[in-house]
Homo-oligomer: A and B are copies of this chain.
Amino acid sequence: MLIRRAGQIRTLALCLALSVGLVSMARAQGAPLPSWNDGATKHAILAAVKEATTAGRPGFIPVAERIATFDNDGTLWVEQPIYTQLAFALDRVKVLAPHHPEWKTEEPFASLLEGDLSGAMAGGEKSILEVIMATHAGMSTAQFEQIVVDWLATARHPRFKRPYTELVYAPMVELLAYLRANGFKTFIVSGGGVEFMRPWTEQIYGIPPEQVVGSRIKTSWEMTPEGPVLMREAGIDFIDDKAGKPVGINAMIGRRPMAAAGNSDGDRQMLEWVPTDRPRLRLLVHHDDADREYAYGAKSHVGTFSDSLMAEAKAKGWTVVSMKDDWKRIFAFTP
């Protein structure tokens, strides 16, 4: 299982190595953050990192305390038109449907199988939870990992027609690498499922599994004739969103972040959890680029960036990134 997984991940990673990895690294060896346009945003990032790493400056941070936490959906990769993990769940419903004849009449599955997403989601959070539990539970953690890896190898984004793992923001991948080059330890802190992210974050973002914090399903220990497994149970263990983000950061990391990046109301408390005693990097990605990606925010259900979040960002001097103005390119595959 591990060997098969390793092989597949390697294939997955190889497609990206030249595009994201090597290009970013090569560029990073020149001027930092090459996919960022010159301007106030880029300068604010460079100034914050310089402040954090220059001994004697008021904002200097000892290396051990250089913790940077990044949201994933909408901050590091595309979250429209639906979260990638929801796209995964919907595909799983189709795959599993033959084993669940009852889904033909049971909501939200009946609507889903007829391709009626908004009908399926009419039940709100409860419907989403039912879909997640039906598709994410009832197997071992190792089996789930394999399912995720297999799906990512073939699934394509409906608009960009590319593997989801290519739909990561080149400027943010550069920022992660730049922070690491400056002694920061980079973490993902996402509302997404931790075991949905861990199989690929190391190859795509350079962030190993043990530095991924996310929402969790309950798991239980089981000893089988082939050895122990952890079974994924149909119950939520932890939701890593909103006030759950600092709670998750405290439980998993045990230090407050000294830099944080997000893109929605779900990231508000994480950014507030960065100590305010000194100048620090607090960054919000604003999706205002319908041509190259998506324009949404206050009006979107996915990745809501409310007016009150924008007001707080302005009042507190957080760095708001305009994808349109601040990013030279969005993806590694675009010029």
Contacting residues, chain B, for A202 (C-beta < 8 A): 64
User: Per DSSP, are chain A's interface residues mostly helix, strand or loop, or mixed?
Assistant: mixed
Whether the Cβ atoms of B247 and A219 lie closer than 8 Å is yes
Whether the Cβ atoms of B221 and A243 lie closer than 8 Å is yes
Size band of the interface chain A makes with B: 35 or more
Query: Which residues A229-264 have CB closer than 8 A to chain B?
Result: 230, 237, 243, 246-247, 250-255
Query: Which residues A69-94 have CB closer than 8 A to chain B?
Result: none
Contact of A228 among B230, B251, B255, B269 (CB under 8 A): B269
Contacting residues, chain B, for A216 (C-beta < 8 A): 251
Query: Interface readout for A56-77 with B: 1 if CB under 8 Å, 0 if not?
Result: 0000000010010000000000
Is A305 an interface position by the 8 A CB rule?
Answer: no
Contact of A247 among B212, B230, B252 (CB under 8 A): B230
Query: Which residues A208-224 have CB closer than 8 A to chain B?
Result: 208-212, 216, 219-221, 223
Query: In the assembly, what is the distance between CA of A221 and CA of B208, in Å?
Result: 27
Residue of B nearest to A211 (CB): B210
Contacting residues, chain B, for A221 (C-beta < 8 A): 243, 246-247, 269
Is A335 an interface position by the 8 A CB rule?
Answer: no
A322 to chain B, nearest CB (A): 27
Contact of A212 among B64, B254, B269, B273 (CB under 8 A): B254
Contacting residues, chain B, for A2 (C-beta < 8 A): 275
Contacting residues, chain B, for A67 (C-beta < 8 A): 210
A172 to chain B, nearest CB (A): 21
Whether the Cβ atoms of A246 and B273 lie closer than 8 Å is no
Contacting residues, chain B, for A198 (C-beta < 8 A): 254
Q: Which residues of A contact B (CB under 8 A)?
A: 2, 64, 67, 141, 185, 194-195, 198, 202, 208-212, 216, 219-221, 223, 227-228, 230, 237, 243, 246-247, 250-255, 269, 272-273, 275-276
Can you pick out 25 interface pairs between chain A and chain B where the beta carbons lie within 8 Å of each other? A2-B275, A141-B250, A185-B210, A194-B251, A194-B254, A195-B254, A198-B254, A209-B253, A209-B254, A210-B211, A210-B252, A212-B254, A216-B251, A219-B247, A219-B250, A219-B251, A220-B243, A221-B247, A223-B272, A227-B272, A227-B276, A228-B273, A230-B246, A230-B250, A237-B251
